[in-house]
Structure 1
Amino acid sequence: MTVEYETRGDIAIVTINRPERRNAVDGPTAQKLFDAFERFDRDENLNTAILQGADGNFCAGADLQAVAAGKGNTVEKTGPLAPMGPTRMRLSKPVIAAVEGYAVAGGMELALWCDLRVMAASARFGIFCRRFGVPLIDMGTIRLPRLIGQSRASDLILTGREVDAEESLAIGLANRVSGDGEALDMALELARQISAFPQKCLRNDRQSMHDQWAMDHDTAMRNEIELGLETLRSGETLAGATAFSKGKGRHGQF
C-alpha cells in the first residue's frame, strides 16, 4: 500500500509508503492521501492526525518519473483534490507532520499544510523543484510566507536551497526538533497533549485562527466571538470552570 492508515487511541497516523521513490507522490498516492485525511476528519473518535513518510524520508515531492512519462499528478484549477492530495483541504482537526530525512518540493508543501511540524535533527526542507522548473501549486507560495514571513520565504522559494533543522526551528518553519528516528515519538507526545484538551474549544479557536486570513479586522472579530459563543454554549467552558474550582489544573497540572 502506498498510503498506510492506522489509529492509536484518538490519534490517526498516515504514512506515505513509497520508499523506493523517497515517498514521492504520484496521482494514485495523492488520491489515497486525500481519502485518508477525509476519513480522519469524519471519524468522531479521532482528535489529531500525524503525517509521516516511511523508511527515513518524509516526502520528495511529486514523482517526477511519473511526470516525465506523461502520468503526472492531476492538476485542476478548482476542486478539493490537489496535485499532492490533501493540501486544499480545510480539516476541522489538527495534523502534525513528523519529518525525517527529506521534505522537499511538494513534500515540503505537504508539511506546510500541517498545523505543526516536528523535525528530526538531520532532516531537511527545501524547494528543490526550483532546479527542474516544477512550480509550487500546493499552496506553498501562500503558506510559506504566512508561516515565516515574506523575506525568508523569498529566500527559500527563489534559491531552492536546503534548510536544516536548526534554521527551521529558528525561523518558525519547524515547531519542535527531535533526535534522528524520534520524530514520530515526539509527534505522538504532542498529539496526545492536544487530544487531551476540550475539543470544541480547541477546534473553534483553531478555526478562527485560520478564518481570519481572509477577513478584515471587524469581520474576524465577529467570527471569533461567534465561535467563542458556540464553545460557551457547548458546556465545555462551564465544565472546565467547575473542574478548576475543585482544584484541577492548578500549578500547571492537567
Structure 2
Amino acid sequence: MPDPVRYEQVGAAAVVTIDRPERRNAVDGPTAEALHAAYQRFEADDEARIMVLTGAGGVAFCAGADLKAVETYASRLSLAEGPMGFTRLTPSKPTIAAIEGYCLAGGLELALWCDLRIATHASSFGCPERRWGVPLIDGGTQRLPRIVGLGRALDLILSGRIIDADEASAIGLLTEVVPAGGALERALTWAEGLASFPQETMLADRRAAIEGVGLPLAEGLLLEAEAGPTVFADAVAGAARFAGGEGRGGAGAGV
C-alpha cells in the first residue's frame, strides 16, 4: 500500500502532501499517524525552515476525516497530538497551507493550523460535518475565531455552509488567492522568502504573536519583551546592515 503522506525537501521548505486523491485526501487513522510522523520529522530537521502542507491530485486539499473509516479514529480522539495527526500541537517554525479544491471539515482545521493559507480561486471552505453531527475536535473552534473573528467563525461553525475563495479571502481566512494550479508554487515562494529573513527574530515575533493572542495586553507585552535580550545581537547586526544601505526601498522583502 502506498504511503498516504509524502515528505519532500524543496529548498528551505518541507512539503508534506496528503496523498489519497481517491478519497479527496480525507484522513483516516493511518494517514493521521503518517501526518504526525511528518510533523515530527519537520520539527527535527534544521534544514527545513518552513512546512508547506498540501493535498495531491488538484481536486482537494483535504475533505476532512474519512467518515468511511471512522472506526480507525477510535484510538486517536484523546491523543495529545490530535486526531488528524498534529492539530493539538504548535509548531516551532512557520507553516503554510497550499490549498487546491475542497478544504472542508477536518481539512479546514488542518488549514487553520497553518500560519498562512494560499488557495486557488476554485477552492471551497466550510464545516459540513455539522450536517452529520460530527464535532470539530482538531482545533477549529479555537483557531477559526482567532483568525476571522467570533461572529464570522460562528456563522461557519453553526451553519455548516460552504464558502468560496473570494468570501474566504474577504473575511480574512486566506492570505492570498492564486490561479488554478498555482497554490503550491506560490507557497514555496513564500517559504523561500520567509527563510531568507534572520530566523531568530522572526521566530521570536511569531511565538509572541501566537502565545500572546489570548492574553490581556499587559501580559502580552511582557511576553513580547522576553525575547528582546535574546535577539538583541541580531537586531544590532540588522541595524548595521540597514545603515549600510541594505533593504531600503523594499529591497529584500522576501515575498
TM range (shorter): over 0.9
Q: Deviations over 1:12-49 (max 9, x none)?
A: 10000011110000111111111111111121112111
- 2:30 aligns with 28
1:33-182 matches, within 5 Å, as: 33-56=35-58, 57-67=60-70, 70-72=71-73, 74-77=75-78, 79-182=79-182
Partners of 1:16 and 1:53 within 8 A in 2? yes
**How far apart are the structure 1 equivalents of 2:214 and 2:126?**
27
From 246, 249, 252, give the equivalent of 2:247.
Answer: 249
- Which amino acid is 2:123 matched to? A
- Which amino acid is 2:178 matched to? S
**How far apart are the structure 1 equivalents of 2:228 and 2:66?**
43
Give the CA deviation at 1:126. 1.0
- Which amino acid is 2:230 matched to? E
Q: Deviations over 1:94-150 (max 9, x none)?
A: 100000010100000000000000010100011011111111000101111111111
- 2:207 aligns with 207
- 1:3 aligns with 5
**How far apart are the structure 2 equivalents of 1:164 and 1:228?**
41
Give the CA deviation at 1:217. 2.6
- 1:16 aligns with 18
Give the CA deviation at 1:72. 2.8
Give the CA deviation at 1:214. 4.3
Give the CA deviation at 1:213. 3.1
What are the ranges of 5 or more consecutive residues in structure 1 without an aligned counterpart? none
**How far apart are the structure 2 equivalents of 1:230 and 1:161?**
45
What are the ranges of 5 or more consecutive residues in structure 2 without an aligned counterpart? none
- 1:190 aligns with 190
- Which amino acid is 1:252 matched to? G
**How far apart are the structure 1 equivalents of 2:77 and 2:216?**
29
- 2:238 aligns with 240
**How far apart are the structure 2 equivalents of 1:38 and 1:161?**
33
SS at match of 1:137: coil
Partners of 1:64 and 1:72 within 8 A in 2? no
TM-score (structure 1 length as normaliser): 0.95
**How far apart are the structure 1 equivalents of 2:89 and 2:106?**
15
Give 4+ residue runs of structure 1 displaced > 3 Å after superposition.
Answer: 73-77
CA RMSD of aligned residues (A): 1.2
SS at match of 2:26: coil
SS at match of 2:245: coil
SS at match of 1:71: helix
